[in-house]
Chains A and B, each alone.
Chain A
Amino acid sequence: MITVLLLAMVVLPAAGVAAQALALWFGCRRSERATVMIVALVFGAVAIAAVTLALTLLVTGRDMIDVQVGPWFATSDHAWRWHLVADRLCVPFALCAAALIGLIGALSSRYLHREPGFYRFYLLLTLFGTGVELVVLAGSLTVVFVGWELVGMASALLIAYFHDRQGPVRHGLRAFLTYRACDVGLLAGTALLADAAGSVDLSGPPAPPAPRAGWTSVLGWTGWAQVPVPGSTVSATIVALLLLLGVVGKSALVPVSGWLPRAMEGPTPSSAIFYGAISVHLGPYLLLRAHALLDAAPAARVLVVLLGLASALHATLVGRVQSDIKNALAYASMTQVGLIVAEIGLGLYPLAIVHILGHAAMRSAQILRSPSLLHDRHHLEQAMGRTLPHTGRHLERFVPVRWRLPLYRYGFEHGYLDVWLRRLRDPIAGLLRAIDHTQRRVADRLGGTRSDTTLEVTGMGQTAGTTAVSLPAARREI
């Protein structure tokens, strides 16, 4: 029974995706109502399942519920299994994610009513939900990776939702590239971990090191399953750093944070759910799952704290300068995520969990409310009976005059992070090109033929992508 519940939390959204995708594939445009109903039912059921699981955990007092579905693929000495886990950490997250996605699903039925991409939006939303539940309930890092990628893909596609304009597509691509580059960390970390620790399956919560009394035990409560820890500090540190790379990308930490404000291109509800609530918090979630690893790698832990604090400081400064509501909210989100990461680095896990859940609820509410800014502002002014007081005075009071402009400029230029990244881009691109070149030469030598097709294909792709082709068929697609 419990097994079924746990499985259902992943299988139901996946089935929802399949149902919608098949219907769309065969060009069957059902009513908007039916689509919304599917999504609401799926995530309603997932939420109920999560509540039931939570109650079961509470009543039975078990630490975790563990389901192994079967092998995914196996090598001679190791099998990778589909493995799901429910414990005290993931159940609140699974519940929160399902509830938020369900709510956004309900809201979007009105928000996106009559929109040409209505069905696409819901398909991607469900896909995203599947990915999130997979990440959250994963019992092994390989499963985490699958969910992680689904989330990234849905995210990038929703940023590029308005694909008839250049900006969204470009920014979707940017997010996608960031994800891809950083996911290398997660993948490599998983592989290394499999090698170093012999397994990537989560193991039961470590026994509390010492029975601490009072509030310290609450602050350091860690009763959830953990990523296995390799024996040596060096490999633990390397694995932790690689996982951190994945976290940096997904949670938009410094220095790759530039994609997050640019992600505000999609419809407002998707921005709310992805960048206010769920997607950005998957990074901290992974860190919570891997805190034992951090314990084993103090250097990585220090880096986590530093990255978190740097992100928070950077984002709060840049965010204060933003003069449009969605960018301001994106940076506000980044600030809190940075703080959460720092909290995890400092070992304040329960605080981080509360912070994540609270932040998710509040930020998505704020983003959803952002188009009503003028309305709310007017009412606030009326309530105050005067023009709203000018904020940021203490910045002006404490910052010396000659620092003010450079500091403002720093915020205005988004901390010059993009410039740095762009500088990195050229050497990396050169390196990749060189690798590609060598690879092709080697292949030519081995195969004996000149296989310069790659270039041609690239060239064709470019021209086809940019010239204004007006195929009647292409235009009809929406």
Chain B
Amino acid sequence: MDLDPENTAGKERATETATTPLAAASKEVAIPAQVTSEPRTDRDSLVASILEDVARLLPEQAPLSFFVHHNTLHAFEDLPFQDAVIRASDVLGTQPFQTEQAFADHLCSGRIREDDVRAVLAPHDEVDGDAEVVPGGPTLAEFRFRRLTTLFEIPRGAGLRWLVDEDDVRHRCHPLVSDARRAAIRHQAALIFELHGGSGQDAPEVPGAIRTAGRWGRSRRADRGEAAAGRPTDKARLLGEVWGTLERQRPPAPAGPAPARRRDQILRLWGVDTDEFVHPVLIRVCSAFLDQGVAYWRMPEREEGLLGVFRRLFGLPSGRTEPVWRGLDAVLREQAAQEWTAARTVVWALGALQLPESAWPAAIRANLLSLRGWAGMVRQFEIRPDRVPVRPPPARLVDFLAVQLLLTVFATRYVLAHHAGPGAEPADLGPLGPVSPPVPASSGGPAASVAAPVARTSAAHPSDPSIDSDPSIDSDTSIDSALVYEAFVLAQVMDVDLGLLTEDRWASAWLRAVADVDDRRRGWLLHQAYERRYRMGVLDALHTHSQNSAKPAQSDEPRADFHAVFCMDEREESLRRHLEEHCPTARTYGAAGFFGVAMAYQGLDDPRPRGLCPVTTIPRHLVVERAVDDIEHAAYRRAMRRYGHVGHVLSTARGTLGRGAALTAIAGLASTVPLVGRCLFPRTAEHWARHVHHRVAPRPRTRLVLERTDDVDHLDSDPMALATPGESDAASGARVPGVGSAPLKVGYTVAEMTDVVEAMLTNIGLADPVPAAAADAMMAGATTAGQADSGAEQLILIVGHGSSSLNNPHEAAHDCGATGGGQGGPNARAFASMANHPRVRDGLARRGIRLDSTVWFIGAYHNTCDESIDYFDTDLVPNRFRSALDGLRAAMDVARRLDAQERCRRFESAPLDIDADQALAHVQEHARDIGQPRPEYGHATNAVCVIGRRSRTRGLYLDRRAFLVSYDPTTDPDGQVLTRLLLSAGPVGAGINLEYYFSVVDPVGYGSGTKLPHNITALVGVMNGHASDLRTGLPWQMVEIHEPMRLLVIAEARPEVLSRVLRDNPALDRLASGGWIQLAAWDPKEPDIHLYVDGAFRPHHPDDRTLPVVTRSAEFYAGRREHLGCATVLGTPPTTSADESTATR
């Protein structure tokens, strides 16, 4: 093969092959293996810089077990939202907004109201709304409004051609046209053609019949017949002329997307997709290379990197490969012998494809994006090896590109040789890039040499399926006939003089107006209207609610029985609400679910620690769970290990010959028992499985190793050895998943713990109120310890959350985002232990936070899928708190049942009148069923984030759609706490919200489609069925009920404070000003709300001050599956009938 001779001179040392396995496992893996000390050629560095650029566009999804929600369009975050989605849809070929059909349904169902559309259009209409589109016709404002509220299908391509040629749409009214308007058109036509004004002479159309026909293709008979008979009606004639004029005035077709790769040109010419040769091989190579333990026999020599192992594997001399790859082995061997770097190979391949340097960026981008899931995963392995589940092979994106291009070169040559004759060169396909005309006929000589063989081959093989591509498609007129069609239908629908539209001048004006509100602009405007409807509902409700609840709430608050701190997660909203309803004296708080304890954690069963903190934070502390009793622990480990060995043997016997045979033949029938159980009685089956498990291996009591007595730093060098003496795992090295190889300290010093507890209590506004809000007696008790009256004992429950489910590769996506996709139980437990620590309390007291002996913290873990709640370290709770603890557990027990009931209303599998106990069983079944693709709906429907005092939102039904972050503006005059909260809650909430947004608006392009054919590959991702690109984003079953809207963040702060916070924090400003979130300021004293629009806070004027009032949430949601608005929930039966808003739904 022709290795580019000019490059062989500048031979380089292959630096990447120097990466030995040892080096790969060492601590500095975060640095790409490419050592830059060697001089690199310009072209190599060009490739490197292009790659850096393109890599940002790749999906940033980590391996599935470290799934963390993030903005799907992170690469476009510098742009404003509306520009970013459009830009991304150009680059990635995805949908920016919901489909027009969806918007049409929203308009129909009242989800978008006319006043929303008008409000959204108002700023546009202020500019030029009064101008008339055509004389006597609608004004621009009217035109836009009608356009947005009149949504109809615009067929394109062959569909439109068919309608025009076969169905004669040019002479008939669209079914959307009202009877009155039809009459008006007839009248206009009659006037123009100077016939009888009565216009009743033509075959009377039966509009009703036409409309009920549904598909309007069917109702052609009357008009068509007459048109064919040569005596068209006036109306038909007029319509025909309008069509003709519009057609004449049609603007030139926009240039189609320019081919960026040879593949595009080949596809266009012959209908052969070279990717279909390249991708299957590339997918298999990547999957085997990245594999974390699915394959029984893992890929040998992975240490050599993706390109290295590919060279070894495909460089084997073999006469049996597919004809496409003939000669590849020789090239690979030669490149390996000359120790080419990956960049060098890339340069060679681009040269072999005869691409000029100017076309490289587009070509590399298009190549990587064509298999972006795998490319992205390779990239993730490269830059975040710590998030790899087991053992990261030395993956590099440039290797991926090199392999891809190598394969592409051969596929291209093969197709060229096959279709264009043996002498054809890639360059004969014509130049690439936007400058070149897409049709090769115009580019003269070289292309003609290809075009001629095309004709030859097509003649020779008439049945060859590859010639069926229609080269006329792109140059076809039908593409923007769509615009003509759109303008034509709109002219019929709107009140415009059709006679005018037969004049070129007005026809073109009309076309301009129509083109101005194109589908993307419509999408953006309707999207805003869609968001506005919900926003108005929530802001009005907050306004009204705070007005209503402000007066009684402040002064005579009853003393709290207990406090409960939850994650800000919107799934906890309902649990909190139910807890408060059931237990009016309880007080709840919301905070980021790691509770300030940013740690690496290793549970009793965990083979290695993992980070439990937001992804943006790097933990510095390691917390380990230890058994209290070593003997118990040893017994437990023994039992578990036995269990594990059996499981492992069973799972590895899967594909083996002898063991597999023995197993299936001897024990195969026994597996009918679990099979029947799992299929028919999923809950009972799982229950028994767990029961047996607990019997065999009872889990010992444990404690967290939390406190570090001294600051000895020599321990820091090897935290792993200390954490797990004798069990240090060679495979994971010193790398802590989710942490990287940063040095870890074991545990926290008292001072550090004090900091954590103080920061957290201050953030959520619990610092002062603990004693104060709990009435004066508490305060007295605090100062004079021991005087606290009996019953003054207060428990503070810290609830972390996570989720556990079967049949759910995306299980980690349901876990707590604030712990980096981990389960927040250990954080809650650690925080509670810290806050109970006597020396920490002393330290807190010195800093002005008094936690006396009447206060006890308890950590708990809430499983949001099966609604179970585990309490930690209850054996440490002092006796005097026992009764309080029992009361708390009983209250939580009721709350979780009600929470399950509220969740069940979303599951179609649950009856609407399900009671709370059945509901609990139902959600448990969802969690434990191998046939259940919807274990829970996760964050679906999240829409709003309220940062403020719970007292102001307490009693407001928010339908599990609100992130609730506790924040007390009265103790934070300068907005420092608010800044902290916004900086943590803003990006996390926006990340979750935007990932859901994109997975809904384009379930295939951004999301991972339906779960049903998902196939877990390499333990890092899912493919569709046998082989496909790695599917990133969320599966449809997770997001199907989500309403795609940007998060509405409402912070309880004066607009001035919030403005200052934005000014000081560019990251927040980018989110808010760029429109990635909607931001509102809620006045701490007044009910007024200001919305942040175009860089300024504008007051919100409520238009609906009524709010349904119910005594319990259950009354409001009972019997309803759909999204619900807000409501006031009184909690207890109303004692005072002083509520001014007694509106009902």
Contacts and interface: CB of A to CB of B under 8 A. Distances in A.
B668 A359 contact: yes
Given A335-B660, A383-B605, A409-B318, A328 B294 contact: yes
A383 B1016 contact: no
A413 B321 contact: yes
B390 A387 contact: yes
Contacts of B654: 328-329, 332, 366
A164 B73 CA distance: 26
Contacts of B162: 471
Interface string A49-78: 000000000000000000000000000000
Chain B facing A: main interface SS: loop
A136 B956 CA distance: 63
A320 B655 contact: yes
Interface stretch (B31-39, B771-779, B945-953, B1023-1031): B1023-1031
Given A316-B655, A408-B313, A358 B930 contact: no
B1012 A115 contact: yes
B572 interface: no
A336 B651 contact: no
A368 B685 CA distance: 15
Interface in B604-623: 605-608
A284 interface: no
Chain A, interface size: which category? 35 or more
Interface string B645-663: 1011001101111001101
B710 interface: no
Interface in B537-558: none
A368 B930 contact: yes
Given A351-B665, A359-B665, A408-B297, A385 B644 contact: yes
A111 interface: yes
Interface string A253-294: 000000001111111110000000000000000000000000
Contacts of A114: 908, 1037, 1040
Given A265-B1025, A384-B644, A106 B679 contact: yes
Contacts of B217: 472-473
Contacts of B250: none
A386 B1025 contact: no
Given A351-B665, A377-B1019, A316 B155 contact: no
Given A167-B1025, A332-B654, A470 B1016 contact: no
Given A267-B1013, A375-B806, A459 B462 contact: yes
Nearest to A357: B669
Nearest to A462: B468
Interface stretch (A17-25, A127-135, A197-205, A389-397): A389-397
A473 B215 contact: yes
B268 to A, nearest CB: 13
A387 B605 CA distance: 11
A398 to B, nearest CB: 12
Contact of A382 (B465, B640, B657, B804): B640
Contact of A111 (B320, B391, B932): B932
Contacts of B934: 113
Contact of B296 (A110, A319, A326, A471): A319
Contacts of B1027: 167, 324, 327
Given A106-B679, A459-B462, A362 B297 contact: no
B296 A320 contact: yes
A104 B1025 CA distance: 19
Interface stretch (B592-600, B670-678, B701-709, B1095-1103): B670-678
Nearest to A416: B320
Contacts of A388: 293, 390, 648
A470 B669 contact: no
Given A171-B1026, A320-B296, A406-B316, A380 B651 contact: yes
B668 A358 contact: yes
A405 B333 CA distance: 14
A374 B729 contact: no
B605 A385 contact: yes
- B299, B647, B1013, most chain A CB atoms within 10 A: B1013
A16 B65 CA distance: 42
A113 B805 CA distance: 17
A86 interface: no
A106 to B, nearest CB: 5
A224 interface: no
Interface stretch (B283-291, B871-879, B986-994, B1085-1093): B283-291
Given A106-B679, A319-B296, A362 B607 contact: no
A412 B288 contact: yes
B274 to A, nearest CB: 15
A371 interface: yes
Contacts of B287: 323-324
A419 interface: yes
B933 interface: yes
A469 to B, nearest CB: 5
Contacts of A371: 806-809, 930, 1011, 1014, 1016
A313 interface: yes
B628 interface: no
Contact of B271 (A107, A113, A408, A466): A466
| Residue of A113, A319, A325, A355 contacting most chain B CB atoms (<10 Å) | A325
Nearest to B605: A382
Nearest to B608: A387
Nearest to B161: A469
B727 A468 contact: no
A364 B678 CA distance: 12
A250 interface: no
For B465, B931, B1011, the residue with the greatest tally of chain A CB atoms inside 10 Å of its CB is B931
Contact of A323 (B806, B1012, B1018, B1040): B1018
A167 B1015 contact: no
B408 to A, nearest CB: 19
B295 A472 contact: no
B1016 A374 contact: yes
B201 interface: no
Contacts of B1011: 371
B664 A355 contact: yes
Interface string A396-431: 100000001110110111001011001000000000
A372 B930 contact: yes
A361 B668 contact: yes
Contact of A322 (B153, B294, B313, B667): B294
B300 interface: yes
A303 B298 CA distance: 33
Contacts of A345: none
B157 interface: yes
Given A369-B930, A384-B644, A385-B644, A362 B296 contact: no
A189 interface: no
Nearest to B643: A383
Contacts of B645: 384
Contacts of A301: none
Nearest to A418: B322
Nearest to B675: A365
Contacts of B465: 462, 466
A336 B664 CA distance: 8
Contacts of A184: none
8 interchain residue pairs of minimum CB distance? A358-B668, A383-B644, A324-B1017, A382-B605, A384-B644, A265-B1025, A392-B297, A107-B931
6 contacts: A358-B664, A387-B731, A388-B293, A391-B652, A406-B316, A467-B469
Given A361-B675, A471-B158, 16 more contacts: A110-B931, A168-B1013, A264-B1026, A319-B655, A358-B669, A361-B672, A371-B808, A375-B806, A379-B647, A387-B608, A391-B298, A392-B297, A405-B312, A408-B299, A467-B469, A471-B162
Interface of A: 103-104, 106-108, 110-115, 161-162, 165, 167-168, 171, 261-269, 312-313, 316, 319-329, 331-332, 335-336, 339, 351, 354-355, 357-366, 368-392, 395-396, 404-406, 408-409, 411-413, 416, 418-419, 422, 433, 455, 458-459, 462-463, 466-473
